[in-house]
Amino acid sequence: MIIFSKVNKWYGEYQALVDVNAEVKKGEVVVVCGPSGSGKSTLIRTVNRLEDIQGGQILYNGHDVYGVDSNLNTLRSRVGFVFQNFNLFPHMSVLDNITLAPTKLKGLNASYVKTKALELLDMVGMSHKANAYPNQLSGGQQQRVAIARALAMEPPAMLFDEPTSALDPEMVGEVLSVMKSLAKEGMTMMCVTHEMNFAREVADKVWFMDAGRILEVAEPETFFQNPTHPRAQSFISDIRA
């Protein structure tokens, strides 16, 4: 579903991604972890070209993301992306946040889109707030709406960049449980997160990154019990501590 081959990226002189080769298979849940500044956000943001790459290739659902023929906006509309800071549109109701892209970009019928949006809100447990505005919601509620907004475009895969890092601890659970149920339904997911319990329970693979490289790809059990790379070992003993 998402294939990184020899991906290299520089911010000026600084190389943020170094020869990244990896694959997220259809229906897989991949958790990307690693110390701060290791390039996790950079990597996940290259998939929908929020960041450009300078070398290598990324295939998303069979499309060459950086190919000359790929239509950027169409590509992006097929990638579900969830941000750390939710980034809901504050001037629109919850419902309008969700229906905006399907109506304006896909030109779908308004009442159909609305019905679907209400189903999605129901799924994330937010249908009672359909007419509320984002700043009337808690962080956890906003993030659940943001997930519904991304799902409304019916993307074949969902990307999460630290979806719970901006949340108060008591709200982390509600967002993770929405993500878990998505995973259960077979959604392909790539998640940057520090929630190691989520990784343990839900992930099919854990990618460990450091200094712009993927140093280890393993099943969560193996990764947490017997990490092979020394950096991964120290990372895990750090989070245990």
Ligand X SMILES: Nc1ncnc2c1ncn2[C@@H]1O[C@H](COP(=O)(O)OP(=O)(O)OP(=O)(O)O)[C@@H](O)[C@H]1O
Residue 46 interacts with Mg ion (CB under 5 A): yes or no: no
Residue 76 interacts with other proteins (CB under 8 A): yes or no: yes
* Distance in angstroms (rounded) separating the CA atoms of residues 136 and 20: 41
C-beta of 62 vs 230, nearer to other proteins? 62
Residue 87 interacts with other proteins (CB under 8 A): yes or no: yes
Which amino acid appears at position 153 of this protein?
Answer: M
> Residue 105: how many CB atoms within 10 A of its CB?
13
Residue 112 interacts with ligand X (CB under 6 A): yes or no: no
Residue 48 interacts with other proteins (CB under 8 A): yes or no: yes
What is the smallest separation between the CB atom of 38 and Mg ion, expressed in angstroms? 9
Residue 91 interacts with other proteins (CB under 8 A): yes or no: yes
Q: How many residues belong to the site for other proteins (CB under 8 A)? A: 28
Which amino acid appears at position 12 of this protein?
Answer: G
Q: How many residues belong to the site for Mg ion (CB under 5 A)? A: 1
Binding residue for other proteins (CB under 8 A) from 21, 25, 26, 105?
A: 105
Contacts of 154 (CB under 8 A, 6+ apart): none
DSSP, res 47 = T
Residue 41 interacts with Mg ion (CB under 5 A): yes or no: yes
C-beta of 18 vs 153, nearer to Mg ion? 18
* Distance in angstroms (rounded) separating the CA atoms of residues 125 and 171: 13
Residue 11 interacts with ligand X (CB under 6 A): yes or no: yes
The H-assigned helical ranges of the chain are 40-46, 72-77, 94-106, 110-123, 139-151, 169-184, 196-202, 220-225, 230-240
* Distance in angstroms (rounded) separating the CA atoms of residues 57 and 107: 31
List contacts with other proteins (CB under 8 A).
Answer: 48, 50, 72-79, 81, 83, 85, 87-91, 100-101, 104-105, 133, 135-136, 149-150, 153
